[in-house]
């Protein structure tokens, strides 16, 4: 499968390049980054110690046009621009970007009527199994248990809570028959009063080089259940993205997630 990597000079981009170059079933067709990136014109493989003959370029449209599938872990505005290019070229798309508005999510859904897309807040296989475990815990423990979600990431992450934390909140809220937008709360400060029994509260930690940690706490009377997943390497996300690309290779248009890819839906 001919792969294209967006944001190739970034931390996640370099990890994706390494994963693609190591996978015998994948071919790196193109890699691109924003204009002004110091790595433009360099061999994409050099960033991971394995020259491959593919140059990092700034022309996203040209790069997308030569591939079969784009992997995009960039930022919402860039991903939406790339989405239009993928539709125009008929390229499939793996979207790991988070922080989309509702309107942008709608644009992605409309595009999925023409191309195959896997979009997920987190592509790590373990994290997606955790989504399922959180759902099972919420259904089994029920409304008597208070729900708090704690997530931690590196100091460079620009959005909070993380997309993964928000997805965990959605999974738990759905299992409990709640609307997350109505019950979500974010941190605490000062005299807050007694906890709302239906609330799902998010707490975000940012510091150092933490790759990603998420814990859902179900706190009941005399008992507490915690579901935790810790990612030690960005490679877990990259390998999940490649698994999603392989999933799309046998499918037509549609909007899928990692639960579909892993058969957990």
Q: Is the dihedral of CA 52, 56, 59, 64 positive or negative?
A: positive
Angstrom distances, CA of residue 260 to CA of 24, 137, 140, 243: 24, 20, 23, 11
Residue 58 structure tokens: 């700034």
Residue 246 structure tokens: 């392989």
Active site residue 153: yes
Interatomic CA distance for residues 163 and 260, integer angstroms: 18
Interatomic CA distance for residues 23 and 16, integer angstroms: 11
Which distant-in-sequence residues (6+ apart) come within 8 Å of 222 by Cβ? none
Cβ–Cβ under 8 Å, residues 144 and 262:
no
Report which of 98, 92, 96 is spatially closest to residue 246, judged by C-alpha positions: 92
DSSP E strands in the chain: the ranges are 2-6, 27-32, 56-57, 69-72, 92-95, 116-119, 146-153, 184-186, 200-206, 212-220, 223-231, 254-256
Find the catalytic residue in 105, 156, 157, 203: 157
Find the catalytic residue in 82, 132, 153, 181: 153
Of all helices (H) and strands (E), which one includes residue 133? helix 125-141
Of all helices (H) and strands (E), which one includes residue 153? strand 146-153
DSSP E strands in 7-88: the ranges are 27-32, 56-57, 69-72
Residue 189 structure tokens: 């400060």
Catalytic site positions: 153, 157
């Amino acid at each position: 499968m001919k792969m294209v990597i967006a944001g190739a000079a970034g931390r996640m981009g370099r990890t994706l390049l390494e994963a693609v170059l190591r996978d015998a079933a994948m071919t790196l067709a193109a890699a691109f980054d924003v204009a002004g990136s110091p790595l433009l014109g360099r061999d994409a493989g050099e960033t991971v110690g394995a020259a491959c003959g593919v140059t990092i370029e700034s022309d996203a449209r040209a790069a997308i046009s030569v591939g079969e599938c784009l992997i995009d872990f960039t930022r919402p505005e860039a991903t939406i621009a790339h989405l239009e290019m993928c539709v125009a070229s008929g390229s499939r798309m793996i979207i790991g970007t988070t922080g989309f508005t509702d309107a942008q999510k709608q644009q992605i859904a409309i595009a999925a009527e023409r191309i195959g897309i896997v979009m997920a807040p987190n592509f790590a296989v373990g994290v997606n199994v955790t989504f399922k475990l959180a759902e099972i815990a919420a259904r089994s423990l029920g409304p008597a248990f208070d729900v708090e979600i704690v997530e931690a990431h590196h100091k460079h992450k620009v959005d909070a809570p993380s997309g993964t934390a928000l997805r965990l909140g959605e999974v738990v809220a759905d299992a409990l028959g709640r609307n997350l937008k109505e019950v979500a709360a974010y941190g605490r400060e000062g005299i807050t009063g007694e906890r709302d029994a239906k609330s799902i509260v998010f707490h975000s930690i940012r510091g150092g080089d933490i790759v990603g940690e998420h814990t859902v706490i179900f706190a009941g009377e005399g008992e507490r259940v915690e579901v935790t997943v810790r990612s030690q390497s960005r490679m877990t996300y990259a390998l999940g993205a490649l698994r999603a690309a392989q999933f799309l290779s046998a499918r037509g248009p549609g909007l899928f997630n990692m639960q579909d890819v892993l058969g957990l839906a």
